[in-house]
Every structure is written in C-alpha cells, then in structure tokens.
Amino acid sequence: MTLPSIWGIVTKIIDICIVWFLFYYLLKNLKNNIKMSLIFKGVAFILAIKLLSNLLNLYTVGLVLEYVIMWGPLAIIIIFQPEIRTVLEQIGRSQLLGRHKVLTVDEREKLVFEIMEAVEYLKRNKIGALIVIERDVSLQEYIQPAQKIYADLSSSLLCSIFFPNNPLHDGGVIIQGNSITCAGAVFKTSMDPSLSKRLGTRHRAALGIAEESDAIAIVVSEESGRISIASNQALKYNLTLDETRLMLVEELKPKTEVFYDADEEDEVGDIDE
C-alpha cells in the first residue's frame, strides 16, 4: 500500500469516528432533554408521514410536507434558539481532561465529612442551604458574579454562610476541589414540568445546575429540613443522612482510581528519607 492510500484510509476512519461521536452526543442530550426529545419526535413523525405519502401517492400531503421539510430547520432554529444556545454553552464549558486535580482518598473523606457535618447541623435547625460541588464542567459563569471566598472547606464556614442573618444565605455555595470558591451564587432554575410544585426555588436551582453541568448540588429545605441531591440531571428527594453520605462518596469517586503497591510506597518512603 502506498502512503496516499494509507492516509486516505486514516482520514475515512477519523471522519466516521467524528460522525459517530456527534451522533452519540446528540442521542445523549436527547435522552435527558425533554424539549429536544419532543423536537426529535416531531421531525421523525413528519418524515414518516412523508414516506407514507410517497408510497400512497398522496400528492397534496407530499407537497405540503416538502415545504415543511424545506423551511422546518430554519423554523426550529428560530423557535428553539434558547435551547440550542444552552447546548452550545454546555459544549463550550465542557473540558475533556477536567480542571482540577483529582482528590486523594483522604481529601475526599475530609470533603464528605465537612459537608455532612454542616448538612446535619442545617437539617437539625431547619436552615435552608444549597451546596454545589463542581466537577469536570466549569461553573465559572456562576462564580464570576458571586461573592468570592477562596477558603478551605469547613463545616463551620458552611454553617455561618447559610445562617439566616447572613446576607449570602439565599444563594448557593460553589466548591472547587476541597475549597469554597464563592457564596451567594444564583443558578438558573429547572423548567422540568414533572418536578413537584411543592419544591421551592433551591430545589429547582439545584436541578437546573445538574441539568446544565455534571455538578453535584445538595439542598437542605428551610421548611422541613429534608435533604435532597441533584446530579446527572435528576433530583433525589428526602434523603437520610446515611443515604446522602453514601451518595456523595459514590459521586465523588474519580473515573479512574490510582492504586499503589505496598512495595512502591516503601520505595517512595525510602527516597523521601
């Protein structure tokens, strides 16, 4: 095989991979986006009627559908411009390799411990709170207008931020790594029609940020003290403390765990000495 022919095969493979990646990304978003799934169903229905009209020689129906198919994409772009913009913003905020260092086991345990200490206190005293943990998708859009803190995470600091007399208690706290980056953050609320009308702004904001990113949002209800967690575009309501702790531990696990053999640790220890 010549070099041009090999290069041609490589470009075709790259071309197919890119198409399949875009197809996979589209299906992934359709699965979790109600409005986009409705658009997809509508387009599929129109195409099915068009095929049926061609088979049965329905001239008038086919003519009307030709105009619909011709001008449909432009109409979809105009009507669903906010949803398309949201998807493009999400792509822009996504980062393939992540932003922050992967927390060690000890750092993750301390993170969960401090958050749970604060959540237990807030639950017991029925103090409303919204705690958002950033992962791979950047939340800079919400950090920028919020009150910057840049402090080490601690349960006492979280409790003081959400204390009713604190001017920042109505907004959300954003945690990056094992630090509190900002407080008083305002998030877009979810428009999911299946969400219970009894849930307030905090719960809708938590689900909203979970729909837009891969962040974990913890909510403590001001009225009932109940705990909820929003992640992976879903809201789990009325969790116990143990359920919350286990869910946090599971969600905060890195995608790939790094293990070291005991012999390797000994070698590192010898080098340090």
Q: For residue 262, name the pLDDT band (cuts at 50, 70, 90).
A: very low
Q: For residue 110, name the pLDDT band (cuts at 50, 70, 90).
A: very high
User: Can you read off the two tokens belonging to residue 46?
Assistant: 């129109």
Considering only residues 185 and 26, tell me which one the structure prediction assigns the higher pLDDT.
Answer: 185
Q: Is 114 helix (H, G, I), strand (E, B) or coil?
A: helix
Considering only residues 166 and 25, tell me which one the structure prediction assigns the higher pLDDT.
Answer: 166
pLDDT at residue 87 greater than cutoff 50: yes
Question: Is residue 83 a contact partner of residue 33, using CB atoms and an 8 Å limit?
Answer: yes
Considering only residues 153 and 9, tell me which one the structure prediction assigns the higher pLDDT.
Answer: 153
Tens digits of per-residue pLDDT, 194-228? 888 888 899 999 999 998 888 999 999 998 999 99
Per-residue pLDDT, averaged over 177-195, amounts to 89
Residue 193 has a pLDDT of 81
Distance CA 119, CA 115 (A): 6
Residue 130: closest CA among 199, 73, 185: 185
Residue 72 has a pLDDT of 75
Q: What percent of the chain has pLDDT over 90?
A: 35
- Range in 51-55, 61-65, 109-113, 257-261 with the lowest mean pLDDT: 257-261
Tens digits of per-residue pLDDT, 120-158? 999 999 999 999 999 888 888 899 899 999 999 999 999
Rg of the chain taking only CA atoms, in angstroms: 24
Select 105-251's CATH number: 3.40.120.10, 3.30.43.10, 3.40.1700.10, 1.10.10.10. 3.40.1700.10
Per-residue pLDDT, averaged over 23-46, amounts to 69
Share the mean pLDDT of the chain: 81
Q: For residue 259, name the pLDDT band (cuts at 50, 70, 90).
A: very low
User: Can you read off the two tokens belonging to residue 82?
Assistant: 């906010």
Residue 206 has a pLDDT of 94
pLDDT at residue 167 greater than cutoff 90: no
Q: For residue 37, name the pLDDT band (cuts at 50, 70, 90).
A: low
- Give me the helix-helix angle, 34-56 and 3-32, nearest 10°: 110
Distance CA 240, CA 226 (A): 8
Strand ranges across the sheet with 227-231: 147-152, 179-185, 172-176, 129-133, 216-220, 227-231, 234-239
Q: For residue 185, name the pLDDT band (cuts at 50, 70, 90).
A: very high
Apex 74 CA angle, 72 and 77, nearest 5: 110
pLDDT at residue 273 greater than cutoff 60: no
Q: Is 46 exposed, middle or buried (0-12, 13-18, 19+ CB in 10 A)?
A: middle
Distance CA 77, CA 74 (A): 5
Q: Look up the pTM and report it.
A: 0.62
Tens digits of per-residue pLDDT, 51-79? 888 888 888 888 888 888 788 778 777 77
CATH 3.40.1700.10 positions along the chain are: 105-251
Residues facing residue 219 across a β-bridge: 130, 228
Q: Is 245 exposed, middle or buried (0-12, 13-18, 19+ CB in 10 A)?
A: middle
pLDDT at residue 34 greater than cutoff 80: no
Residue 36 has a pLDDT of 65
Output phi, psi for 240, to 5 deg: -80, 170
Distance CA 86, CA 9 (A): 36
